[in-house]
Amino acid sequence: MDQKIRSSIIENVKGEGYAGKLGLKLIELSDGHAIVEMVPMNNDVNMFGTVHGGAIFSLMDEAFQFSCNSHGRVAVALNVNVVFHNPVKIGCRLRAESKEIYLSNKTATYEIKVRNDNDILIASCQALAYRKREQLPFLDEEPEPTI
């Protein structure tokens, strides 16, 4: 993976308020592939006391975002089809892995799976991205010097 793209994505994720609020953490990033983790907490539960599907979807969407934008072009979701397989209790670490299964000039398809620490499948989805012509906007910015 191009190191400028990789480092720019990693730097810009720090400003994502929604992902920060949910505690989403980028673990791995390469061309067409990303792993994101979260540990759902009390504010992530539904009325049954298990983790809300919206929180799980957000985890999947974050992994999808990284994998489909890893080529340096702006890519946005066109369709995401999710299947929830097993409920999750709060405090259980979840890991979403997004893998590119098809890439063309205009679209790309991804398979995303969420598993817990016991490798139990929690949710899976297939996602379709539209690939715009423009590069990621922050690639033109000069990175801030680190001390």
Looking at the chain, the whole-number percentage of residues with pLDDT higher than 70 is 95
Q: What pLDDT shows up at residue 146?
A: 45
In this structure, are residues 108 and 101 in contact, taking their beta carbons and an 8 Å threshold? no
Q: Say if residue 41's pLDDT is above 60.
A: yes
Residue-range domain boundaries for the chain: 3-139
- DSSP for 106-117 reads SEEEEEEEEEET
pTM comes to 0.93
Mean pLDDT of 35-57: 97
In the CATH hierarchy, which top-level class contains the domain 3-139?
Answer: alpha beta
pLDDT band at 142 (very low <50, low <70, confident <90, very high): low
CA angle 92, 13, 111 (to 5 degrees): 60
Q: What pLDDT shows up at residue 60?
A: 99
Residue 14 or 27, more confident = 27
